Amino acid sequence: MSRTVSPYEADPPSAKRIATSVVLAVVGAAAVLVTFVLPAEYGIDPTGIGGALGLTALNAPAKTVQIMEVSGGNERYREVAIPDFGQPVPLPNPAVFQQQGSAATTEEVKVTLQPGEQTEIKALLKTAKVMTFSWQAEGGLVYVDFHGHEPAAGSAFWVRYEEQQSGTHGSGSLVAPFTGEHGWFWMNVSEQPVTIKLNVTGYYEKLVDHGITKSSGESAWAE
């Protein structure tokens, strides 16, 4: 078969014409690149025209927001890029939302302590589960130690959330740092009987009432 030839190959234009054409092609390509493509694709805008046309916005650096790591983790904050087009910012810890099958349990517990008596009421919570609480003491002052420990670990360790040497109320919320018992040790430190009313709402397994014991003088609490 014969090779079909471009009419220009048989009779090529002058060198000058070809050179001019090539130069025009290069200049044209450079113009398109510099004014449109590079600003849009890479944010490179030497002439400023791309910016004026609004093209550099296509390649602007992502805005970020600092989202606090509210539960768990060692980081206090994580910086995350804000995506485009109304997309949600990805959370460092998506477990801040916990889907549950039903509403949280709400309970009220009342206990009356004679002077010197102590009690412990604990909620069994799995890791990262949430509860809110509010308690009031009527008739006197109580010592309270709001704390948590793992029964499996025995007396190996425990954590303290809040301690009051003598108080009449407490309220707050807790995200359980580990699976275990998280609750209150109260001791009546006044001369009169004190009635403690505790309200708990949360996703705990159950409340455990360790009963009333006489204080031995120490603030050690029963397991």
Partner 1 sequence: MVALFAPPMFAHGVEGGDAAYLESIEGVHFIPLLYLGAKHMVTGYDHLLFLAGVIFFLYRLKDVALYVTLFAVGHSVTLLFGVLAGIHANAYIVDAIIGLSVVYKALENIGGFARLGIRFDARAAVLLFGFGHGFGLSTKLQDLSLSQDGLLANIVAFNLGVELGQFAALALILIAFNIWRRSDRLARAAYVVNVLIMTAGFALFGYQMTGYWVS
Query: Given the rule CB under 8 A, which residues bind partner 1?
Result: 1, 3-15, 18, 21-22, 24-26, 28-30, 32-33, 37-38, 40-42, 44
d(C-alpha 210, C-alpha 223), whole Å: 8
Nearer to partner 1, 23 or 153 (CB): 23
The nearer residue to partner 1, 44 or 208, going by C-beta atoms, is 44
Q: How far apart are CA 211 and CA 77, in angstroms?
A: 42
Closest CB to partner 1 among residues 6, 100: 6
Q: C-beta of 169: minimal distance to partner 1 in Å? A: 50
The minimum distance between CB 75 and partner 1, in angstroms, equals 22
Least Å distance, CB 128 to partner 1, is 25
Q: Cα(101)–Cα(132) distance, rounded to whole angstroms?
A: 18
Minimum Å distance from CB 27 to partner 1? 9
Selection from 162, 108, 117, 171 nearest residue 139 by Cα? 117
Q: Which two tokens stand for residue 170?
A: 């407490």
For partner 1, the closer of residues 10 and 103 by Cβ is 10
How many whole angstroms separate alpha carbon 55 and alpha carbon 45? 9
Place of tokens 């509403």: 103
